Copies of this chain bind each other. A is one copy, B any other.
Amino acid sequence: MQNQFSLPQPPTLADFGAVSPALAHYTTDILLGELWNRPQLSKRGRSIVTLSVLIARHQLIELPTYLKLALDNGVTAAEISEIITHLAFYSGWANASGAVAAARDVFAQRGITASQLPPVKPVPLPLDEASEAARKKFVGDNFGAVAPGVAQFTTGLLFRELWLRPGLAPRERSLVTISALVATGQVAQLGSHLNRAMDNGLTQTEASEALTQLAFHAGWPNVFTALPVVKDVFDKRAAH
């Protein structure tokens, strides 16, 4: 049976103009013309941030456009595959399902085949045993009795499997994670993941500029809610 899933076409620039000439102007001149060309974060990085927003917020209309742009900006199909898998765990299974629907069509259009995608069981990246032991102890001490199922899957599936998948470098995996957290207002989890991102090689300039990207794509208020947490992380790392 033919799969009948189809995503609606995104509105064109002419559609934007027919509703808001100002928004069409801001889209071409500021968003695409200025923001995406700022040097503090690569276009590849901006694509990773923006895809993470759209997937984590289930905003499917613009997703095909930004998937194609991501491929053009040097995000590989294998990395997109891993981003979607990562966000199944970090934003909920149905968000990944929506992203699969969009990516399937884009991959088909671009001639991307299974051989270009990461395998189910790759050779994992090496585990930082000390850091993972500390994380596991913290979660176990605090929540092991409250939510044993969560604690078990967090260790076995997330930190000993998902985060060690080599198809997406830890720095990029972290960028996906913090982008999704800011985009969905989950600042309580942002501090630890921003520290992890910077431990994984994301510079302060890049993290700061990711917030600029997020302001436009996830809305100003989410970024302002994140700023005190980001400032605190930057300050504490500078003090060491």
Q: Which of B7, B26, B80, B184 contacts A185 (CB 8 A)?
A: B184
Q: Chain A, interface size: which category?
A: 35 or more
Given contacts A23-B100, A219-B90, A221-B186, contact A208 B148 (CB under 8 A): yes
* Residue among B16, B94, B100, B154 making CB contact with A217, cutoff 8 Å: B94
Interface centre among A22, A103, A149 (most CB of B within 10 A): A22
Q: Secondary structure of the A side of the interface? A: helix
Q: Give this chain's copy count.
A: 3
Question: Which residues of chain B come closer than 8 Å to A119, judged between CB atoms?
Answer: 21-22
A residues neighboring B (CB under 8 Å): 3-12, 14-27, 30-31, 38, 40, 53-54, 56-62, 80-82, 84-85, 87-101, 103-104, 107-108, 114, 117-120, 142-143, 146-150, 153-154, 157-158, 165, 180-181, 183-186, 188-189, 208-209, 211-212, 215-225, 227-228, 230-231, 234
Closest 7 CB pairs of A and B: A149-B212, A59-B94, A92-B219, A5-B9, A91-B219, A189-B221, A20-B81
